[in-house]
Amino acid sequence: MKKLIIASTSTLHGGSYLDYLLPTLQEHFKGCTTLLFVPYARPGGITHDEYTAKAAEVFAKINITVKGIHEYENPVIATENAEAIFTGGGNTFLLVTQLYKTGVMDAIEKAVEKGTPYLGTSAGSNICGLTMNTTNDMPIIYPPSFQTLGLVPFNINPHYLDPMPDSKHMGETRETRIKEFHQFNPQPVLGLREGSWLEVQGSTIILRGDLQARLFRKEQEPEEIATNTDISWLK
Amino acid sequence: MKKLIIASTSTLHGGSYLDYLLPTLQEHFKGCTTLLFVPYARPGGITHDEYTAKAAEVFAKINITVKGIHEYENPVIATENAEAIFTGGGNTFLLVTQLYKTGVMDAIEKAVEKGTPYLGTSAGSNICGLTMNTTNDMPIIYPPSFQTLGLVPFNINPHYLDPMPDSKHMGETRETRIKEFHQFNPQPVLGLREGSWLEVQGSTIILRGDLQARLFRKEQEPEEIATNTDISWLK
């Protein structure tokens, strides 16, 4: 059975890495003693080793040993054999490029379908949607495709940000950008505010965290989804 | 001789479309009575006709008649024959996709090299750089390449935004994103704040407008460039 946590962010303002999620992760990864970390998104350009060490430090608190996928000779086999998988945030273009280059994109999809518990934050959540067309990241590298895992039947917009009423900056708001997306793409987009996550168990998808999420559908007004809502109907 | 205005934005906060640039454009397009408008970036998803009407209204004030490139049967020939070219802002992914699909990318490059005066704002400025890897836009469509016109030998980051010290949002700052870009790409990136533009005359490139620009180079500290500085040396 599919078992996913799809989180908007790894870190809340004023908090430390993954701390707000730790009780949830303890439950999510119950029975696992090891975890495969996918550091490909390299936030701020840190190395795979540095990023993996950061994840390992947190998971040590719940007695889970972390190993980076880059430490294995064959990353596809490492994915197939993983007890649990966590894809960290950073740059989605870089992450997706690496996932295709290594063959790990397919391998994660298969592992998740057969029941390996998965955690994604930020870019690692973006790839759970149908495509990466609704990432907020800068396109620093050209991926072979914008197609992603499709573990949920819609797109994710992590770090969803409401328009800032006092802004004098003339760049587009997040809402305007997602409306532009819908001029060319049919699938719903779920804007996950920082602190929100999706809990996926089989075909059930529930919004968790303290906040509402903002749902955008083609040719419809955006709507707010209350926390703890079952959104398994969404596609 | 190459003759370009590469502007960060079309509209300043509280201003109207292109008003702050109008005296500059009057000089830039001196002697031209017609202008070819490239509306492919479709800001907010508006139609090519709507977008062209918006540009036409402004250029009427300086006695220039605007026609949209989509109104021509052959957009490449339209570009070759244009007296002047203006590529408007919107979504860079959409703009670049359309420019490749129609063959207009090459045609603009050739027209500019032979001396057709060009104006770009926002997405229309992004494409003047070597690549579109430093756009701020959402990747709503998958372009055949991130390669762009290379009319200046570096990349542009339009709508450059300084970090907001009070922000509680955990998404990356613009500076962080550009640093990530430099992990994988060698060329300098010029962050043009809203109200700044580059004036290109042949091989001379000068920063114009009231503000400084922020220059990012691989493995170097970012630096501020004063307005009216000649940056022809930058590559």
Cross-strand bridge partners of residue B36: B67, B85
Mean pLDDT, range A64-73, rounded to an integer? 98
In this prediction, residue A143 carries a pLDDT of: 98
Is A121 among the domain residues?
yes
Helix (H) or strand (E) holding A96, with range, is: helix A92-102
Residue A202, number of CB atoms within 10 A of its CB: 10
Q: For chain B, say whether A94 makes contact (Cβ under 8 Å).
A: yes
Residue A154: count other Cβ atoms within 10 Å of its Cβ.
21
Return the CATH number at A41.
3.40.50.880
pLDDT of B187-207, one tens digit each?
A: 999 999 999 999 999 999 999
The answer to whether residue B231 is domain-embedded is no
Whether pLDDT at B165 is above 90: no
Residue A28 banded pLDDT, cuts 50, 70, 90: very high
Residue keyed to tokens 């719940």: A62
Reported residue count of chain B is: 235
Integer-rounded Cα Rg, in Å, for chain A is 17
DSSP B171: S
How far apart CA A157 and CA A128 sit, in angstroms, is: 11
Residue B173 — pLDDT band, cuts 50, 70, 90?
A: confident
Residue A109 binned pLDDT confidence (cut-offs 50, 70, 90): very high
- β partners of residue A7: A121, A197
The pLDDT of residue B200: 98
pLDDT (average), residues A42-50: 93
User: What residue spans of B33-173 are helical by DSSP H?
Assistant: 48-60, 75-81, 92-102, 104-113, 123-126
User: What residues of chain A lie within 8 A of the CB of B172, using their CB?
Assistant: 43-44, 137
Q: Do B138 and A171 touch (CB under 8 A)?
A: no
Residue A170 lies in a domain: yes
**DSSP annotation of A152:** S
Mean pLDDT of chain B: 96
Q: Coil, strand, or helix at residue B93?
A: helix
Cα distance between residue A4 and residue B115, in whole Å: 57
Question: Are B209 and B221 in contact, with CB atoms under 8 Å apart?
Answer: no
Mean of the pLDDT values across residues A107-127? Answer: 98
Query: Is B232 designated active site?
Result: no
A103, A149 Cβ separation under 8 angstroms: no
pLDDT at residue A13 above 80? Answer: yes
**Secondary structure of A190-208 as H, E, C letters:** EECCCCCEEEEECCEEEEE
Strand partners for B87: B38, B120
- Examine the pLDDT at A164 and tell me if it is beyond 90: no
pLDDT for the residue numbered A193? 96
Q: Which domain holds residue A29?
A: 3-225
> Is residue B230, in this structure, part of any structural domain at all?
no
| Amino acid identity for residue A73 in this structure | E
Angle at CA B89, nearest 5°, toward B177 and B94?
75
Q: What is the ipTM of this complex?
A: 0.94
Whether the CB of A67 is below 8 Å from some CB of chain B: the reply is no
Question: What is the per-residue pLDDT for B190?
Answer: 98
The mean pLDDT of chain A is 96
Domain presence at residue B33: yes
For testing contact with chain A, the best of B51, B142, B175 (most A CBs within 10 A) = B142
The phi and psi torsions of B66 (rounded to 5 degrees) equal: -105, 135
**Extended strands (E) in B100-179:** 118-121, 155-157
Residue (of B9, B98, B17) closest to B52 by Cα position:
B17
Task: Supply the pLDDT for residue B103.
Answer: 98
Contact of B199 with chain A, judged by CB distance below 8 Å, is answered with: no
Cβ–Cβ under 8 Å, residues A138 and A91: yes
Give residue-wise pLDDT tens across range A190-230.
999 999 999 999 999 999 999 999 999 999 999 999 999 99
pLDDT attached to residue A173: 87
A135 vs A120: CA distance, rounded Å: 14
For residue B31, is pLDDT > 90?
Answer: yes
pLDDT at A170 over 80: no
Q: What's the first-to-final CA gap in chain B, in angstroms?
A: 19
Band the pLDDT of B46: cuts 50, 70, 90.
very high
Give how many domains chain B has, as a whole number. Answer: 1
Q: Specify if A231 maps to a domain.
A: no
Model pLDDT for residues B82-140, shown as the tens digit of each residue: 999 999 999 999 999 999 999 999 999 999 999 999 999 999 999 999 999 999 999 99
At residue B170, does pLDDT exceed 80? Answer: no
Chain A residues close to B45, C-beta within 8 Å: 179-180, 182-183
pLDDT above 90: residue B78: yes
Distance, C-alpha A87 to centroid of its chain: 7
Q: Domain for residue A100, yes or no?
A: yes
Q: Across the interface, do A159 and B178 touch by the CB < 8 Å criterion?
A: no
Catalytic residues of A: 122, 137, 159
Percent of chain A residues past pLDDT 70, beyond the cut: 100
Tell me, yes or no, whether B218 lies in a domain: yes
